[in-house]
Each structure stands twice: as C-alpha cells, then as structure tokens.
Amino acid sequence: MSTFYVVRHAKAGSRSHWEDDDRKRPLSKSGFKQAEALVSVMGPYAISAIISSPYVRCVQTVEPLARARRLAVQETRQLAEGAGLKGALRFLGDPNLDDVVLCTHGDVVQELVEELIRRRILKASQTELDKGSTWVVEAEDGSPVGARYIPAP
C-alpha cells in the first residue's frame, strides 16, 4: 500500500487582478501563512518526495515543507492546472512511490474527488476542495483504495 498527500495549493492572489502570466501568480499573505502551517499539519507523516505543478502558487505552497524535510520540490506539468486527472493517477499507479506529496490545482483535486466518489471510496457528500487542504489517498496495485481529508490550515 502506498500513501499520497494530494495538496491543493494555498490561497493565491486574485486571478482577476493579476495581469501577468497566470502560471506566475503567487500566493497571497494568507496563502503564505497556510504554506508555513502545512509544515505542522504534515508533521506526523513520513514524506519521501514532494512533487508539484510548476505554477508558482503550487511551488510556494510546498516550499516550506520541502525546506523542513530537506527535500527538493520536483516540478511536473502532469500536475499543472488543466492537465486533468491522468497525470496525478500516474503517480498513484507508480509502485516505486510512497509517502509522496503531490501539490496541484483545484480542477485536478475536484476530478480526483469525483473519481474517488465514482469508485465508491468516498461518499457523494465528501467534496471538500478548500485551498491549502490535503486529501490523503491510499493506493494498492496502482489504484486508489482509501482516502481521507485533512482540512486547510
């Protein structure tokens, strides 16, 4: 059994007020606080790797955790906004990965939750998607078999 911590990036600055490339949009002040608090939230858990969407807001969300755990943030377009669930499911299906943080976007997390509901791992009422929150997903033989929610800090 492998464990994955699927983190939705922390609160970012307003999309409508950001005039530059959206991939460069940073966390807001409250988002930086959430990112720092993620270190405590993840304190009880073993973490072997941190993989993130290359979008600035995702990388900034997991940087404090990476520093605290002395791990590099590995960036991949497979977790980028609009990449769909396929990329995230590839990680869950990798038998060589365990205790991995995957930082991504709301659209990917929503697709993941919908897939977990479709597979009857979650109930239809379990649709939490708050920025900065984490879904702990257990995978066995490449497929999700369990999940639980950790609220945003």
Query: What's the CA gap between 46 and 25, in Å, rounded?
Result: 30
In a 3-state reduction of DSSP, which class is residue 27? strand
Q: Which tokens go with 55?
A: 């979008």
- List phi, psi (to 5°) of 123: -85, 155
Indicate left, alpha or beta for 135 from its phi (over 0: left) and psi (-120 to 50: alpha).
Answer: beta
Segment 128-151 mean pLDDT: 93
Tell whether the model's pLDDT for residue 56 goes beyond 80.
yes
Determine the pLDDT at residue 125. 85
57 lies in which domain range?
A: 2-14+21-150
Return all residues near 78 (Cβ < 8 A) that are at least 6 apart: 86, 87, 88, 90, 91
21 has pLDDT over 70? no
- Residue-wise pLDDT for 39-52, tens only, equals 999 999 999 999 99
How many Cβ atoms from other residues are within 10 Å of residue 21's Cβ? 9
- The Cβ of residue 36 has, within 10 Å, a number of other Cβ atoms equal to 15
Percent of the chain at pLDDT > 90 equals: 78
130: domain CATH number is 3.40.50.1240
The number of distinct structural domains making up the chain is 1
